[in-house]
Amino acid sequence: MAGENSINAFFNPRSVAIIGATPKEGKVGRVIVENFKRRFKGRIYPVNPKYNEILGLKCYPSVKNIPDTIDLAVIVVPAPIVPMVLRDCGEKGVKAAIIISGGFRETGTEEGRRLEEEVIRISREYGIRVIGPNCIGIYDNWSGVDTYFLPDYKMKRPPRGGISFISQSGAFASALLDWMAYNNIGVSRAISYGNKVDVDDVDLVEFLGRDDKTRLIIMYIEGLKDGRGRLFLEKIREVVKSKPVIVYKAGKTMRGSRAAASHTAALAGNYDIYRAAFKQAGVIEAESFDEIGDFAKVLLTQPLMRGNRVFIVTDAGGIGVMLTDALTREGFEIPVTPDDLKRELREVLPPHCIVENPIDLTGDADDERFKIVLEKVLPKPYVDAVVLGALPQIPGMTHKFIDYVVGVWEKYRKPLLVIDIGSEEAVKFKVELENKGIPVYESPERAARALKALYLYSKHVLRDNR
Amino acid sequence: MSPREIIRKALEEGRTKLLEHEAIEVIKYYGASVADAYLAQSAREAADIADKMGYPVVLKIVSPDISHKSDVGGVILGLRSRFEVMDAYQKIIDNVSMKVPSAKIVGVLVQKMAEPGGLEVIIGGLRDNVFGPVVMFGLGGIFVEVLRDVSFRVAPVSIEDALEMMGEIKAAKILDGYRNVPPVHKESLAKIIVATAKLLEENPEIESLDLNPVLAYPDKAVVVDARIILRKG
């Protein structure tokens, strides 16, 4: 097994050769040069025999002519020429190559398959680690490696942050990156590996697991390579001890091709086995696109949840009832408020407020009432998490609410989620709260699912570290 | 014979399915408790085995060419005496010879009848291309066949994993007993699941297997029927 250093070259190269670079507008080979020029601090060498210079950079006819060592080659030439340029890379001593070009096994043609096998042979011969082919490669928010060939004005680049993701699909990776940029979600590194002739999910998850810039990993998987499942499970189990991994498994409904000579073989769908493996590894499975973001923000910001008892505090009775249903359906306990807490709440609340769980502060509440109640509820040992149903429409609610809530939360460090439904004003509350580390959801159901993700992750970590 | 020898012999004879007594021997080797079963090659031998193990017994045809034994009159249940066993032996041989004249008959399996009151479960295993050995658990009968109510784990599995996967099926509450039915002994089932995973890990020639049914009682669990499929070539 190649060591982590060979993978590291993909993310932290000192020099990069862009083979197939071009000055032509609208071409992949140009966008990638622009990307590197914008952010990359290392040395950039365009390669194309047709040009002497591209976008102000000296251009070389072959990677072999570059008077420098090359840590990373990015290859965007047509598939039939890829073996040749990869061989050049090998002779040059390049140890890492991202092959963006398509036209390989994914075409289903004999020629595509042959070319892919040649790529594999050459990479083994020279010991070159390969990402791709048929991929969009790497976006690294720290080093500036950016082979995502989608122009900056079409795909926004997100701010730096703790989320890294690995995606079999390039389209999904770029859409997710753009969406994260729009929602101001911080990203560390994003990798799309396409046909994965060499570097695959296992290598990448291991690298990101050790990467201290990555605090949470999102994976989009269609299928793992044959024989890699067990190693995948073992690596992720290690990673999950220090950071959460969210997986979205696509291709759930694909039929297995298993010959069914036994009951067991007939009953085992591919997805059933993936699900079992995810559970064993302690991976959190997102079942929809919405859940990826919903889960990520709670897992990234909230401390571990130590039990399943949830208290609800709301200014809207209806939201309290909806939350009770949604949380109960996910298996949470909504305990009756114990007498000691009831007494304490009675002392500080007007008589018309309801001190049962859900605790209803009613529509005449002001933002300070939330703070007073949270101060009483959050530290109690029988409270494992609090969900606030905080509708901003009531007259007494101002933006002071944010500091009040964040202040109490920082003091007691227990999982806290907020439901906030509405128009511009509600969106403002959401943005301010989320900037301070409190995840906000637009529906009780989505909040309940997200809390469940936190609960399952916590349970796994607490059990494994026991 | 050891599992290794049993498997090698089957492959040498060009069989991709172990005979029932072979499968039972393999399972037993891994420590799963199995309803006693021995191969008899004459009516007298069958009767001697039955005398030794005690009545009632069941007789089943053993042939590499027959997979649905009952359909060809190859199974006779509830035999209570030496005389009945000898008579049944001959009847089975006659039935099979008539219905499937080409079938090679290895002999007849004599097995102790299971005690009444057991809950039927299925424990299975298979080798997945991506994950390797995988085990399965479900309740027998309609739960598996109609509702596909089963759970899986990738090997290796611990007793704790096995207990967890038993709790995952939708009908899990049935294992805990209901009305006058006492709960089953889950640890015994878990041991069989763990044995199944181990068996798959140590014998790469095994493609898949069914222990179906396994009968679960308040104090034990017993494998009654086993099918082991080998990979070709």
A154 C-beta neighbours (distance < 10 Å), count:
9
Q: Does residue A146 sit in helix, strand or coil?
A: strand
> Which one of B92, B112, B132 terminates a domain?
B112
Q: Which of A89-93, A365-369, B132-136, B190-194 has the lowest mean pLDDT?
A: A365-369
Instruction: Return the CATH number at B160.
Output: 3.30.470.20
pLDDT at A260: 64
Alpha-carbon torsion (A16, A17, A19, A21), positive or negative: positive
Its pTM stands at 0.91
pLDDT at B99: 94
- Do B71 and B162 fall into the same domain? no
- Locate the chain B residue with the closest alpha carbon to A227: B130
> Which one of B112, B146, B161 terminates a domain?
B112
Interface test mutation site (partner A, options B20, B128, B212, max chain A beta carbons within 10 A): B128
Query: Do the Cβ atoms of A379 and A412 come closer than 8 Å?
Result: yes
- Using CA atoms, how far residue A91 sits from A11, A85, A119, A336, in Å, is 22, 10, 14, 72
What tokens appear for B133 in the block? 């050995």
> Which one of B112, B132, B160 terminates a domain?
B112
- The ipTM, to two decimals, is 0.89
Interface of B with A (CB under 8 A): 16-17, 122, 124-126, 128-132, 134, 136, 138, 144, 148, 150-154, 161, 165, 207-210, 212, 227, 229
- Per the structure, the complete domain to which residue B40 belongs is given by 3-112
Q: What is the pLDDT of residues B150-187, one digit of tens each?
A: 999 999 999 999 999 999 999 999 999 988 889 999 99
- Do B87 and B124 fall into the same domain? no
| Average pLDDT for A442-454 | 97
Q: Does residue A174 sit in helix, strand or coil?
A: helix
Q: What is the crossing angle of helices B43-53 and B82-99, to 10°?
A: 140
| Chain A residues closer than 8 Å to B126 by CB | 258, 262, 264-265, 268
Token pair 């403002």 is found at A428
Strand ranges (E), A76-196:
96-99, 129-131, 137-140, 160-167, 187-192
- Do B129 and B73 fall into the same domain? no
- Name all domains of chain A by residue range, CATH numbers in brackets: 1-136 (3.40.50.720), 150-285 (3.40.50.261), 304-464 (3.40.50.261)
Q: Hey, are the CB atoms on A227 and B129 less than 8 Å from each other?
A: yes
- Do B94 and B135 fall into the same domain? no
Q: Hey, are the CB atoms on B128 and A268 less than 8 Å from each other?
A: yes
Peptide bond into B56 cis (omega under 30): yes
Cα B151 to Cα B162: distance, rounded to the nearest angstrom: 10
What tokens appear for B228 in the block? 């082991």
* Closest C-alpha among B206, B192, B193, B189 to residue B126: B206
**pLDDT over threshold 90, residue A259:** no
pLDDT at A332: 98
Q: What is the pLDDT of residues B44-91, one digit of tens each?
A: 999 999 999 999 999 999 999 988 888 999 999 999 999 999 999 999
Domain count, chain B: 2
The CA distance from A444 to the nearest CA of chain B, in Å, is 26
Q: Hey, are the CB atoms on A280 and B161 less than 8 Å from each other?
A: yes
- Locate the chain B residue with the closest alpha carbon to A232: B131
**pLDDT over threshold 70, residue A2:** no
Mean pLDDT of chain A: 93
pLDDT at A184: 87
Interface test mutation site (partner B, options A196, A225, A263, A459, max chain B beta carbons within 10 A): A263
| Average pLDDT for A118-139 | 96
- Do B59 and B141 fall into the same domain? no
Q: What is the pLDDT of residues B82-136, one digit of tens each?
A: 999 999 999 999 999 999 999 999 999 999 998 888 999 999 999 999 999 999 9
pLDDT at B140: 87
A162 C-beta neighbours (distance < 10 Å), count:
18
Give the pairing type, strands A137-140 and A129-131. Answer: unpaired
- Do B123 and B108 fall into the same domain? no
| Average pLDDT for A252-277 | 77
Token pair 């015994």 is found at B188
* Closest C-alpha among A400, A335, A338 to residue A365: A400
Interface of A with B (CB under 8 A): 223-230, 233, 258, 261-265, 267-268, 270, 272-273, 275-277, 280
pLDDT at A137: 96
Q: What is the crossing angle of helices A229-240 and A444-464, to 10°?
A: 90
- Do B16 and B51 fall into the same domain? yes
**pLDDT over threshold 50, residue B5:** yes
Residue A189: Cβ-neighbour burial (10 angstroms; 0-12, 13-18, 19+): buried
**pLDDT over threshold 80, residue A4:** no
What tokens appear for A299 in the block? 């897992």
**pLDDT over threshold 80, residue B6:** yes
Q: Hey, are the CB atoms on B153 and A276 less than 8 Å from each other?
A: yes
pLDDT at A257: 54
Strand partners, A22: none
| Chain A residues closer than 8 Å to B227 by CB | 262
Peptide bond into A23 cis (omega under 30): no
| Average pLDDT for A174-197 | 93
- Do B137 and B50 fall into the same domain? no
| Average pLDDT for A278-298 | 94
| Chain B residues closer than 8 Å to A278 by CB | none
Q: Hey, are the CB atoms on B131 and A277 less than 8 Å from each other?
A: yes
* Closest C-alpha among A286, A216, A284, A277 to residue A250: A286
Q: Hey, are the CB atoms on A229 and B130 less than 8 Å from each other?
A: yes
- Do B81 and B39 fall into the same domain? yes
Give the pairing type, strands B37-40 and B75-79. Answer: unpaired
Peptide bond into A13 cis (omega under 30): no
pLDDT at A281: 94
Cα A144 to Cα A139: distance, rounded to the nearest angstrom: 7
Nearest to B130 among A224, A264, A265 (CB): A224
pLDDT at A74: 98
pLDDT bracket for residue A255 (50, 70, 90): low
pLDDT bracket for residue B189 (50, 70, 90): very high
pLDDT bracket for residue B142 (50, 70, 90): confident
Nearest to B154 among A225, A227, A233 (CB): A233
- Do B196 and B151 fall into the same domain? yes
The CA distance from A279 to the nearest CA of chain B, in Å, is 9
**pLDDT over threshold 60, residue B144:** yes
| Chain B residues closer than 8 Å to A233 by CB | 131, 154
Residue B157: Cβ-neighbour burial (10 angstroms; 0-12, 13-18, 19+): buried
- Do B96 and B164 fall into the same domain? no
- Do B166 and B184 fall into the same domain? yes
Q: Hey, are the CB atoms on A268 and B209 less than 8 Å from each other?
A: no
pLDDT at A267: 78
| Average pLDDT for A149-162 | 92
Instruction: Return the CATH number at B87.
Output: 3.30.1490.20
| Average pLDDT for A394-402 | 90
> Rg of chain B's alpha carbons, rounded to an integer?
18
pLDDT bracket for residue A1 (50, 70, 90): very low
